[in-house]
Each structure stands twice: as C-alpha cells, then as structure tokens.
Amino acid sequence: MSPPVIQIRDLTKVYRMGEVEVPALKGINLSVDRGEFVAIMGPSGSGKSTLMNIVGCLDRPTSGIYLLDGIDVSRLDRDRRAEIRNAKIGFVFQSFNLLARTRTTENVELPLLYSDLGLSRVERDRRARRAIAQVGLAGREDHYPSQLSGGQQQRVAIARALVTEPAILLADEPTGNLDTRTSEEIIGIFQALNDAGKTVVLITHEADIAAHAKRVVHVRDGRIGDDERIVQVRANPAIVATEDEELVPAAASSSSVPAWSPERT
C-alpha cells in the first residue's frame, strides 16, 4: 500500500482579528488514501472552508503537519505553494470560475501555462482535448463559457482540474449552483473519475451529495466529528479502478454510454 495522499496531524488554524484570536481548526487529524472519494461535510462556520483552503494549499496551518503526496506542504512559501497547487491539486469551485470570453480549450489549458513541465503548444492542446473528452464535452472545444449551460461549465472546470493529472481533485461545493439533475451528472463524473483511480475530496454541506462519496468526514466546530465509510453498491463493470490507469475509464473508448450518464447514478 502506497502512503496516504493526504496526511494531516494535529492541524490547527487560528485567525487573528485585531486583538482577538479566532480558532477555526482545533486539531484535525485526517488521512486520505489514494483512490478514495471523501466528502467533507459540515455546516457553515464549522471550519470546513478553512480546512479546504489548507488542504488546497491556498493557506498555511497555524500548527500541525500536512503531507500532500508525501511532501510536507505546511510550511511552504507562496511560490512553492503555487507550484504544489499547479502540480498536485485540481480545483473545482462552486461558481465554476472559468475565464469569461475564453474558449473551452484555453480555459482547460490554463494550468499548463503556469506549469513547470514546459509542454509544447501541441502537447498542451492534446492534453486539454483529452481532458475535455473525459468530461463528455468533446465537440464544444471552441465554445465560450457564455455559450455553455451551468453543468457544462462545471464540466469544463473539472477538465481544467484534470489536465495537470493532479494527485487529488478538490471540489468545493461543486454542485452548489446547479439544479438537482445537473448535480447528479456532475457527481457522476466525480464517481467515474474516482472509479478510474482519481482521489476525490469533495466539500459540501448537502447530505444527498455527500452520500455519493465512499467516505464522509464530518467537521464540527473545528474538529473532525464522525468519519463514516459508506459501502456503496454500484455496478460498474465497465470501469476498472487502478491507480496507474490513465484517467479514462478503461472501457470508455469502446463503451457508447458515458460513465456519468444520469441513468446510472
């Protein structure tokens, strides 16, 4: 068994507001293995956003240790954290956060522009198109966000998160701006990606969304509450989940039914 992709020990975060110290996280211990699909749940004010910012290397903990993919990222400076975010984390936000007036491919390519991989234009384009196909948007490469529905925009965002082949997908309320049906579709994509071996961390406050994960971690008052593993009975014969697989579901190329089609969830 390879080491956990996320290892968090005694993590605290204290915000200083003038004279007052506001503890947001009061000692979090969390370990996420490769290939897991974890939902982090909690009401607003529980500290789950703070946790997500630290897990996403957008912020640093006040104390404690955070190992991401074996690297201690809890003390890194701004630029190093930017590199880690670029290489290891794929963000999916509630409000999609695509660049307006920018084509699908260009939006998806964006992280590669800042990567240290130094990919050629052709290679970037190839990767972007592959990620777009993975989320079922093939044929919409040249669309602008304004020409896409909310669900489609979120798929572009997921493709953008996938394009660097990160260690974890970190989704912050990814269905918060979507209707129920579209939400199911988006969750379906995460499930399919997870089945293909991707580690997915989902932050949500909706129980029915969290129910699609394999494991639900409850954050309450800056601490981890329940940590339940859900055994889901999902029939996915077409999908072989191994870590080293490409992100494409193994049989997807031969299967005409996309893995995230609503009928299957």
Partner 1 sequence: MRVSLLRLWNITKVGLMAISRNKMRSALTMLGIIIGVACVIAMVAVGSGASSSIQSTISSLGTNFIMIFPGAATQSGARIFTGESKLTPEDVEAIKTEAPAVAYASAGVRAAGQVVAGELNWGTSIYGVDVDWPFIRAWNTSQGAFFTEGDVKTSAKVCVLGSTVADNLFPAGDGVGQAIRIKHVPFRVVGVLEKKGGNMMGQDQDDQIIAPYTTVMKQLQGTAKLNLIYVSAAGSDQVPEAEKEIEALLRQRHRLQPGQDSDFTMRSQEEIASTAAQTTQTLSILLGSVAAISLLVGGIGIMNIMLVSVTERTREIGIRLAIGAKGRHVLIQFLLEAVALSVAGGAIGIGIGVTASHLISKFAGWPTNVSTGSIALAFGFAAAIGVFFGFYPARQASRLDPIDALRYE
SS3 content of the chain, % helix, strand, coil (to 5): 30, 25, 45
50 to 28, 155, 224, 241: CA distances (angstroms):
11, 25, 13, 31
Contact 121, 113 (CB under 8 A): no
**DSSP for residue 231:** -
Query: Which CB sits closer to partner 1, 14 or 251?
Result: 14
Q: What angle do CA 258, 133, 192 make, to 5 degrees?
A: 45
Query: Which CB sits closer to partner 1, 100 or 231?
Result: 100
State in angstroms the smallest separation of the CB of 79 from partner 1: 5
Q: How far apart are CA 217 and CA 230, in angstroms?
A: 11
Which residue ranges make up the site for partner 1 (CB under 8 A)?
53, 56, 58-59, 78-79, 82-83, 85-87, 91, 93, 97-99, 101-102, 110-111, 113-116, 118, 121, 160, 164
Query: Which CB sits closer to partner 1, 60 or 214?
Result: 60
State in angstroms the smallest separation of the CB of 64 from partner 1: 18
State in angstroms the smallest separation of the CB of 54 from partner 1: 10
Contact 173, 183 (CB under 8 A): no
Query: Which CB sits closer to partner 1, 101 or 181?
Result: 101
Contact 30, 8 (CB under 8 A): yes
State in angstroms the smallest separation of the CB of 227 from partner 1: 26
Query: Which CB sits closer to partner 1, 121 or 181?
Result: 121
State in angstroms the smallest separation of the CB of 196 from partner 1: 21
